A and B are shown apart, each in its own frame.
Chain A
Amino acid sequence: MLQLVFLIPIIAGIAVFFLPVKIGRLAFIATALFHLFVTALEWFHVTEPLHSKYFSNTPEGMLVLAIMSFLFLFISIYTVFYMAEVEMTKEPIFNGSMLLFLGAMSMVAIADHIIMLWVAIEATTLMSAPLIFVHRSKASLEATWKYVLICSVGIALALLGCFFIIFSMETSDLHVPISFSSLNGVAAQLNHVWLKAGFIFIVIGYGTKMGLAPMHTWLPDAHSEAPSPASALLSGALLNCAFLGVYRCHQLMFNAGLGDYSSNVLIAFGLASMLVSAVFILNQTDYKRMLAYSSIENMGIIAVGIGIGGLAAFGAMLHMIHHSLVKSSLFLSAGNILLGYGTKSIDKTRGMLRLFPKTGITFFAGFAGISGFPPFGLFVSELLIILGAIKAGRYVVITIFIFSLILIFAGASRLVLQMVFSEPENDDKLVPERWTRALPPIILLLTSLALVIWLPDSLYQTIQNAISSIGGTVNG
């Protein structure tokens, strides 16, 4: 039963609202484990293949689902210990919303029907809203309001795009179910004008959710104001889901023979995101905002990679995996920093290495990873994208690409080095370090490292299958 991947978290989420805190925590982690188990069953196709009008098991969907499920397990463990430190009164609501959020995201990963995908993506917005304003401070309310309104409006535009795609089928007198799998079969006969219009609206809509510039304005606010476990989930899993929506439509465009058009659109948005984040990251004073802008940058990288296609598409998929792992790890470390210093300001979080050595090392390692240093995976994926672009002869694109990477690295390294290596102002620690909170980010980082050294064959095959539909190959 494929649907179990979203039904279980939703049912568990509703249950957690009403359970006592202690049992709720157990149920929270148990659900995360069980979700990973169901995902694994689906990944290896243990269960019967599914015949549903609305859902299907696709390689790219499984990829997103697997990352999400894996992340969620460690984030849930972290959440339980994090919440114990902050003593939040509304913990059941937070945990329940996390589970509902997981359910909505799982639904995105397996949705096949065009409108169902839309419904699921909109649901992710709504389910994650309570996560952001759980503190109810003025800033978090503002962030939530921006998030809900901007994303809802953006996603409403995506619905318009969906209607255009359906119409592109009806003008051509085709009558197939409006799911991606069946539309891909008749893609060549779809009306091109309407398909293009639909694609633009969908990129704007889901791109808002994915954090592509210039629709990214909600992202830094939401990511910086949400509690750290929620930020990690937003950055590591939600952005991938939105990307999946865009990617599905890109596939459809490719099959309809409009691949060049949609590629160029994706590259344009991708480069814009990279440049915007490069500009804004230079003078950040808040480390969570800095990480948020880095997410925008990485989403831009993925969009560019997919747009270029070929080898770069493989790079983009790898990038998605590694970015999720490393960025979640970074946000979890940021949560530890916030607990230890009680502030999000970069200037006031000095001397991490001396005060909080474990967090300091994880944070710095994460930073090295996100900037694309070997031996972390982002080095490989960015290299593949650059190679793919050179192969495809996109020299202008790759010049801007490398330029923004350098700019971002220069901007962020100044801030991170100061945070990690400088002398602390004083030796006050609000909350001491604990292994329970330091381990999840470390494990996520180590996973990223492990995947560089040994890429499991089934993962390799899944990525291959996912990108073959847009003409991406490793050897091409």
Chain B
Amino acid sequence: MIHISNILLALILLSVLLSLRSNRLMALVKLMAFQGVVVSAVPLVLETAHGVNFNLVMFFLLLVLVKGILIPGLMYRAVKWVVVDREVEPIIGYHASLFAGLIMIVFSVYVTNQLQLAMLPENHKLLLVAAITTMGAGLILLMARRKAITQVIGYLMMENGIYLIGTALAKQMHTQYVVEFAVLLDLLVAVLVMGIVLNDINHTFDDVDTALMGQLKD
């Protein structure tokens, strides 16, 4: 029997590993869009075991709209504006990031096994592995890259990972659409605010390199 959810998770991991070695901002944005759509589909696939209901599908569409279209769309515009469209001299190189991603995977498998989550269904374990890896890789991107846009993408990836962890652990989360919608709205506004600040940074510094910003320190 094939678990569609496992394939989705494999796709998420694929996008994570690809984004760790990508140096083009546009490619990163496309990967984020892809990842957003796949991440949105995970709860749908997990829950359809108990039958599809209307709310679930509507919410899936909403998630795809926000994570797969609106947020990448905002990022896309941001990348269009910036002068330099690729990452130059990352703080941690691409190979090192990729290996850090691999170590992250090993680590998350180890953690998942240590947790002794006997009550979770079998395919939730793989979900947890994928989730922790995504979160960790997001953190790696945040720390290892200097372009502000890449950092936003790292943040989004981390958020995706946390969302997946929530999907794996907190079942009640998915019965309360108001709350989940509020979380989604927050994410959208966060990206919007970051986009505005990015735009201003690009205007003022003629680049989105965070290394240029170092005035404030003690």
Where the two chains meet, the residues of A that have a C-beta atom closer than 8 Å to any C-beta of B are 54, 113, 115-116, 118-119, 122-123, 125-126, 129-130, 133, 136-139, 141-146, 148-149, 152-153, 156-157, 159-160, 163-164, 166-167, 170-171, 175, 178, 220-221, 224-225, 280, 283-284, 289
Contacts and interface: CB of A to CB of B under 8 A. Distances in A.
Q: Among the interface residues A144, A160, A221, A280, which one has the most CB atoms of the partner chain B within 10 A?
A: A160
A321 B139 CA distance: 36
B71 interface: no
Given A133-B197, A133-B200, A289-B218, 16 more contacts: A115-B173, A116-B179, A116-B182, A123-B189, A142-B213, A145-B197, A146-B216, A148-B193, A149-B142, A149-B155, A163-B162, A163-B169, A170-B169, A170-B171, A170-B172, A283-B218
B165 interface: yes
B182 A141 contact: no
Interface string B116-152: 0001000000000000000100010010000010011
Contact of A119 (B139, B155, B173, B179): B179
Contacts of A178: 170, 172
Contacts of B215: 138-139, 142
Contact of A160 (B165, B194, B214): B165
Contact of A166 (B148, B173, B196): B173
Given A116-B182, A119-B179, A166 B162 contact: no
Interface residues of B, number: 42
B216 A142 contact: yes
B12 to A, nearest CB: 17
Interface of A is mostly: helix
B158 A141 contact: no
Contacts of B158: 153, 156
Contacts of B172: 166, 170, 175, 178
Contacts of A148: 190, 193-194, 197
A159 B218 contact: no
A245 B77 CA distance: 35
B169 A166 contact: yes
B41 interface: no
A163 B170 contact: yes
A153 B155 contact: yes
Contacts of B216: 139, 142-143, 146, 220-221, 224-225
Contacts of A284: 218
Top 5 closest pairs, chain A to chain B, by CB = A142-B213, A166-B170, A167-B169, A119-B182, A221-B216
Interface string B165-187: 11001111100101110110110
Nearest to B167: A163
B204 A141 contact: yes
Contact of B183 (A119, A125, A138, A153): A119
A153 B135 CA distance: 11
B11 interface: no
B193 A159 contact: no
Contacts of A143: 216
B203 to A, nearest CB: 8
B81 interface: no
Contact of A156 (B148, B159, B179, B193): B159
A364 B67 CA distance: 51
Contacts of A167: 169-170
A159 B119 CA distance: 22
Given A115-B173, A122-B186, A123-B189, A163 B197 contact: no
Nearest to A113: B179
B142 A153 contact: yes
B218 A126 contact: no
Nearest to A285: B218
A137 B215 CA distance: 11
A157 B158 CA distance: 9
Interface string B74-107: 0000000000000000000000000000000000
Which of A126, A139, A171, A221 gathers most chain B CB within 10 Å?
A126
A324 B69 CA distance: 42
13 contacts: A115-B182, A116-B179, A118-B183, A142-B213, A142-B215, A148-B193, A149-B142, A149-B155, A153-B142, A153-B155, A163-B166, A170-B170, A175-B172
A24 to B, nearest CB: 21
Nearest to B192: A126
A225 to B, nearest CB: 7
